[in-house]
Structure 1
Amino acid sequence: MRELPVSTERLIVRRFAAGDVAAFAAYRSDPEVARYQGWDAPVPEAAARRLVTEFAAAEEGTPGWFQYAVECAGVLIGDVGVCLDRNRMQAEVGFTIARAHQGKGYATEAVRCVLDRVFAAGVRRVSAECDARNTASARLLERLGFGAEGHRRRHTWLKGEWTDDLLFGLLAERRRASPPAIFACRPNLLVGDLGASLDFYAGALGFRIGWRWSDPRARFLADDEPHEPGTALVGRDNVQIMLTQVTGVHGTRLHLDVPSAAQVDELFREWTGRGVDIAEPPFVRPWGMYEMRVLDPDRTVLRVSSPPAH
């Protein structure tokens, strides 16, 4: 395992240092940052100095809590804590990001970096919990692959009220699992005359016609679907192209195929967490495919689909 500090795409994950006291006290004193955490705001400078001193002296990889400082562009913006069990095979993770730096994916990037270190050190399971009202933290954990493992109702007395806790867990073998695989991309060409296009692709270029529905009685489109007078699939070798007859101005569309509905859902969670413009979330389309639609900056429609779950 590499020594600290470690650089990610935008961050530096490192040990705490004496110079972090002011920034640490500032973001931990923000009532919005402390709202669902176990400390009370504001955090006095003396208390912040004592904590930073403890963090700086701790040894990574020994049982108990170790706090990683998260730095962006030379500024301390948060911290990620890991509590390693005495058996060194289990751990708990927690995280805090300054309010000015929330909503930019920094927490996800920092926690992912720390998880890489934890699992590389031989930990088999990492757990986490959060206040049930803290939906942002719950979504972050889900994006990183944590599974929901429980909901403890009125379990914690915190800041004058009983709160619900959400429990999450992530196993090493789950983290090693392959990410969702996009195994095929089929461009959807929007054409002015389907018959002429089929003559060109099948007659001139030697593509085979896989299927077509040009007769309205054969189309599997719901009332709220775009009115497409005709669609056909043509293919040659390992290439498939969707041809759809549409009049007027239109944008490009691509079909991205993944193996299962669960992986469509995984991509939906991953891309939503990265701020992707999801035009339509996943659902089973009238023609039987489980599909979501994503827009790129040029309004190209990416249709990500799989067979539905059984």
Structure 2
Amino acid sequence: MSGLPVLAGQVVVRRFTPADVADFAAYRSDPEVARYQGWDTPVPDAERLVSEFAAAEEGEPGWFQYAVEAGGELVGDVGVCLADNRMQAEVGFTIARAHQRRGYATEAVRCVLDRVFAAGVRRVSAECDARNTASAHLLERLGFSPEGLRRRHTWLKGEWTDDLLFGLLAEDWTSGASGPAIFACRPNLLVADVVASLGFYADELGFDVGWRWSDRQARFLHDGEPHEPGTALVARDRVQLMLTQVPGPHTTRLHLDVHTAAQVDRLFREWRERGVDIAEPPVVRPWGMYEMRLHDPDGNVLRVSSPPAS
């Protein structure tokens, strides 16, 4: 494996260098950062550890630690333990407290996973303390599947803790089930006359008409299914717009496109755990989309949908 450093969004993923000792020792010695980790604080022999990280060979069995840099500063690290068969690996990650909740861990771990799977690894495992919900959510956002709970499995800092287990297969990573869940948004413009709007977008602005609800999609409807009269989709270049004919005052609707039904389910669990009011949980709609709906504080409707579960 070669090609370090790598620019990954806001961060640079690179090798450790001797200049990283002070920053590494600082965030690894933070009790909040180490709360759910196996090491104690302060970190002993930080200079020795960084020296070992810098000398390790990427792609060899055992642990390899990647440094994560942002704004010219070491902000964390991602570790990969490659099995002797070079087809399985385990991943772990740490971000300094002052740099958390900025997306650095997501970008860095995604970059590392790209490298690991490109090198021929078929499965990556991860685990975290069951109380560490931030790490669990990050793993699920990246496409990891929850695979179990080991109750009272680890004696950590004077107490027994539960471990959450996760796994990610190479075929899931390359199929688009991993990475960002939401890959596109199709604004739904509510209009007074969909025919007039289609004429404007198609004839005057040069948009292509993708489909109209009154066409073949209508066969999916049944008497008990609420439907939206006069809905159509227009597109040009990379922009798609939904046009929906609704009389009177109305709110805006957004269509958030997601790669897989599993990602819809993961977003549903994440948002429900955060206390979001889900108007309609995920379900396969008669027209074939796997979809959930929620409302923002102003009453705007967000429809999160993917192809149906296979």
With the shorter chain as reference, the TM-score category is: 0.7 to 0.9
- 1:244 matched to which residue of 2? 246
Q: What is the CA–CA distance in structure 1 between the aligned matches of 2:77 and 2:257, rounded to whole Å?
A: 38
Q: Does 1:59 align with 2:29?
A: no
Q: Where does structure 2 lack aligned partners over 5 or more consecutive residues?
A: 204-210, 216-222, 236-240
Deviations 1:15-60 (A, max 9, x none): 111111100000001000000111111224xx11111111111111
Q: Where does structure 1 lack aligned partners over 5 or more consecutive residues?
A: 192-196, 212-217, 222-229, 273-277
Offset at residue 255 of structure 1 (A): 3.9
Deviations 1:201-247 (A, max 9, x none): 79999x97729xxxxxx8867xxxxxxxx951255999973211232
Q: CA 1:270/1:105 → structure 2, altered by over 3 Å: closer, same or farther?
A: farther
Q: CA 1:284/1:124 → structure 2, altered by over 3 Å: closer, same or farther?
A: closer
Identity %: 61
**Paired residue secondary structure (2:246):** strand
73-82 vs 230-239, which deviates more? 230-239
Q: CA 1:166/1:237 → structure 2, altered by over 3 Å: closer, same or farther?
A: closer
TM-score w.r.t. the length of structure 2 is: 0.75
Q: CA 1:302/1:186 → structure 2, altered by over 3 Å: closer, same or farther?
A: same
Offset at residue 133 of structure 1 (A): 0.8
Counterpart of 1:150 (choices 148, 151, 160) is 148
Report if the CA contact (8 A) 1:184-1:258 is conserved: no
Q: What is the CA–CA distance in structure 1 between the aligned matches of 2:212 and 2:80, rounded to whole Å?
A: 57
Q: What is the CA–CA distance in structure 2 between the aligned matches of 1:87 and 1:107, rounded to whole Å?
A: 27
Q: CA 1:257/1:134 → structure 2, altered by over 3 Å: closer, same or farther?
A: closer
Offset at residue 292 of structure 1 (A): 2.6
Q: What is the CA–CA distance in structure 1 between the aligned matches of 2:135 and 2:174, rounded to whole Å?
A: 22
Larger Rg belongs to: 1
Offset at residue 304 of structure 1 (A): 2.7
- 2:230 matched to which residue of 1? 233
3-12 vs 28-37, which deviates more? 3-12
Q: What is the CA–CA distance in structure 2 between the aligned matches of 1:178 and 1:64, rounded to whole Å?
A: 28
Q: What is the CA–CA distance in structure 2 between the aligned matches of 1:137 and 1:236, rounded to whole Å?
A: 38
- 1:304 matched to which residue of 2? 304
Q: What is the CA–CA distance in structure 2 between the aligned matches of 1:12 and 1:101, rounded to whole Å?
A: 14
Q: How does 1:1-310 map to 2 (within 5 A)?
A: 1-44=1-44, 47-179=45-177, 185=186, 187-191=188-192, 197=193, 200=196, 210=214, 231-235=228-232, 241-247=243-249, 250-255=250-255, 261-265=261-265, 268=267, 280=278, 283=281, 290-293=291-294, 301-305=301-305
Q: CA 1:255/1:140 → structure 2, altered by over 3 Å: closer, same or farther?
A: closer
Q: What is the CA–CA distance in structure 2 between the aligned matches of 1:181 and 1:141, rounded to whole Å?
A: 15
The alignment covers a number of residue pairs equal to: 279
Offset at residue 252 of structure 1 (A): 3.2
Offset at residue 262 of structure 1 (A): 3.6
Q: CA 1:164/1:243 → structure 2, altered by over 3 Å: closer, same or farther?
A: same
Report if the CA contact (8 A) 1:201-1:234 is conserved: no
Q: CA 1:189/1:84 → structure 2, altered by over 3 Å: closer, same or farther?
A: same
Q: CA 1:96/1:158 → structure 2, altered by over 3 Å: closer, same or farther?
A: same
Report if the CA contact (8 A) 1:233-1:240 is conserved: no
Q: CA 1:188/1:55 → structure 2, altered by over 3 Å: closer, same or farther?
A: same
Q: CA 1:6/1:152 → structure 2, altered by over 3 Å: closer, same or farther?
A: same
Deviations 1:87-137 (A, max 9, x none): 111111111000001111111110111111111111111111111111111
Q: CA 1:144/1:244 → structure 2, altered by over 3 Å: closer, same or farther?
A: same
Q: CA 1:282/1:308 → structure 2, altered by over 3 Å: closer, same or farther?
A: farther
Q: CA 1:284/1:90 → structure 2, altered by over 3 Å: closer, same or farther?
A: closer
TM-score w.r.t. the length of structure 1 is: 0.75
**Paired residue secondary structure (2:33):** helix
Q: What is the CA–CA distance in structure 2 between the aligned matches of 1:162 and 1:185, rounded to whole Å?
A: 47
Report if the CA contact (8 A) 1:190-1:252 is conserved: no
2:20 maps to amino acid: D
